Amino acid sequence: MLQDYSAEISSLIDAMLDGERQKHLWLASTAQVGEDIVKSWPEFSALQLHGAGAADAIRQRLATSTGDALFTLLVLAKHSGDSDLKTLALSRTSANFTLSPDN
């Protein structure tokens, strides 16, 4: 029987979107530095291990997020294993910040 990890995934995303955590992004001088900050958080790696379950949760949160939370979710989306979610992340960027595709 497969265990439902949705509560754990939601908790990991909530931790990344916490206001105190988001303040770390204010120190970023470029979008790349901000992306590196997000990728250094332990929840980032934990969410990568959840694969499709995390991708679905990220996709749902992207629909309503703005500001620093949106940036964090776009970084998660860009590095997900879901190609549609990666494409969505790159299409949702604005003039205020950019996420370049990984080479």
DSSP string, 7-27: HHHHHHHHHHH-HHHHGGGGG
Is 100 within the bounds of a domain?
A: no
Is 70 within the bounds of a domain?
A: yes
Write the pLDDT tens digit of every residue in 59-79. Answer: 999 988 888 899 999 999 999
**Is the pLDDT score of 2 beyond 50?**
no
Is 13 within the bounds of a domain?
A: yes
pLDDT at 90: 79
DSSP 8-state class, residue 101:
P
Is 99 within the bounds of a domain?
A: no
Confidence of residue 31 (pLDDT cuts 50, 70, 90): confident
Please give the helix or strand (H or E) that residue 88 lies within, else none: helix 83-91
Q: Which of 44, 42, 68, 40 is nearest to 54 (CA)?
A: 44
Is 73 within the bounds of a domain?
A: yes
User: Which range of residues forms the domain containing residue 22?
Assistant: 6-91
Enter the pTM of the model: 0.84
Tell me how many domains the chain contains: 1
pLDDT at 22: 92
Is 97 within the bounds of a domain?
A: no
Is 30 within the bounds of a domain?
A: yes
Question: What type of residue sits at position 41?
Answer: W
DSSP 8-state class, residue 102:
P
**Is the pLDDT score of 18 beyond 60?**
yes
Is 61 within the bounds of a domain?
A: yes
| More confident site: 67 or 102 | 67
